[in-house]
């Protein structure tokens, strides 16, 4: 395995994405909606309403949260406790949905796209081995989604601390569970999704077919990730670390198996069924 060649493949793809405005604009809009607009409107509305019946009713519904989660909620007022619970517990799944959506959209087109653009022949005759091409494509698909999420997460943290912080005694976000979710659990789930989508991209005949097929994979995976992200936030640090370790184990095993998806004949479009 030559990591220099792997990084060259990844760097080439990332440069192409950076120059594609039709890729960055939808990605930026998606990230803004989930990490900025929705939290900003919701948290600002709750903290601005004050101690009214509507906020007290929402605060009462916090009793449906696990006891451990209820014990962690800070704030002495209904609006403080409600906004704290929303910021820390209920928005966690969006941190998984956004990068999975973006990265799988990129990954679905990455291998079959080479053949459609006519650049597959150049890649097939390059010094890079098939494993190096696969890992390079995987890195190039993972980075845009993860980068967007980390930028959005930074903006979200700022919004939460500025709006909710004064209600609960100062800046408190990100919590330990959120750090573990973003730096340990999330990359594992991204690896699972991309390893499956790239395997598809190496086998189908067109980008449209790859994107449709990837939807069948990513939707169930998003549902599972959604549930696991919630569990990671509600549970202990040990639970979160265990969830991340399981995701990494499955992701690495799937990646190793998926390396066989890249065939030089498929990049040239001369393999059976292509």
Q: Which backbone phi and psi does 50 adopt, to 5 degrees?
A: 80, -165
Specify the pLDDT at position 137: 87
Decide: 88 and 173 in contact? Cβ < 8 Å: yes
Mean pLDDT split into 10-residue runs, the chain, 274 residues: 84 83 78 87 81 68 69 79 82 75 80 73 77 88 86 91 88 87 86 85 74 70 65 71 89 86 68 52
Q: What is the pLDDT of residue 249?
A: 94
For the stretch 40-49, contacts whose Cβ atoms lie closer than 8 Å and that sit 24 or more positions apart, written own/partner, are 40/159, 40/163, 42/86, 43/83, 43/86, 43/87, 43/159, 43/160, 43/163, 43/164, 44/163, 46/79, 46/82, 46/83, 46/86, 47/79, 47/80, 47/83, 47/163, 47/164, 47/167, 49/79
Count the Cβ atoms, other than its own, within 10 Å of residue 244. 21
Distance CA 36, CA 33 (A): 6
Residues 218, 193: contact at Cβ < 8 Å? yes
CA distance 117 to 180: 39
pLDDT computed for residue 253 by the predictor: 92
Spatial distance between the Cα atoms of 84 and 89, rounded to a whole number of angstroms: 8
Helix axes 78-85, 53-61, angle to 10 degrees: 50
- Report CA torsion sign: 28, 29, 34, 38: positive
């Amino acid at each position: 395995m030559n990591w220099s060649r792997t990084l060259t493949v990844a760097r080439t793809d990332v440069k192409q994405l950076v120059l594609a405005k039709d890729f960055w604009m939808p990605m930026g809009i998606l990230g803004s909606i989930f990490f900025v607009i929705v939290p900003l409107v919701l948290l600002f509305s709750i903290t601005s309403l004050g101690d009214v019946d509507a906020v007290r009713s929402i605060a009462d519904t916090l009793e449906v949260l696990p006891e451990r989660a209820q014990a962690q909620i800070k704030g002495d007022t209904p609006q403080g406790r409600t906004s704290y619970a929303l910021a820390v517990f209920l928005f966690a799944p969006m941190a998984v949905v956004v990068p999975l959506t973006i990265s799988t959209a990129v990954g679905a087109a990455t291998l079959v796209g080479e053949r459609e653009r006519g650049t597959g022949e150049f890649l097939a005759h390059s010094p890079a081995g098939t494993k190096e091409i696969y890992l390079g494509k995987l890195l190039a698909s993972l980075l845009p989604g993860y980068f967007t999420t980390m930028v959005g997460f930074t903006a979200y943290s700022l919004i939460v601390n500025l709006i909710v912080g004064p209600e609960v005694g100062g800046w408190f976000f990100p919590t330990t569970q959120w750090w573990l979710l973003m730096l340990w659990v999330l990359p594992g789930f991204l690896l699972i999704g991309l390893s499956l989508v790239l395997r598809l991209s190496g086998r189908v005949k067109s980008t449209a077919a790859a994107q449709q097929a990837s939807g069948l994979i990513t939707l169930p995976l998003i549902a599972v990730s959604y549930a696991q992200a919630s569990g990671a936030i509600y549970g202990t640090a040990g639970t979160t670390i265990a969830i991340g370790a399981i995701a990494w184990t499955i992701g690495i095993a799937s990646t190793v198996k998926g390396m066989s998806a890249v065939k030089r004949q498929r990049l040239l479009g001369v393999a059976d069924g292509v």
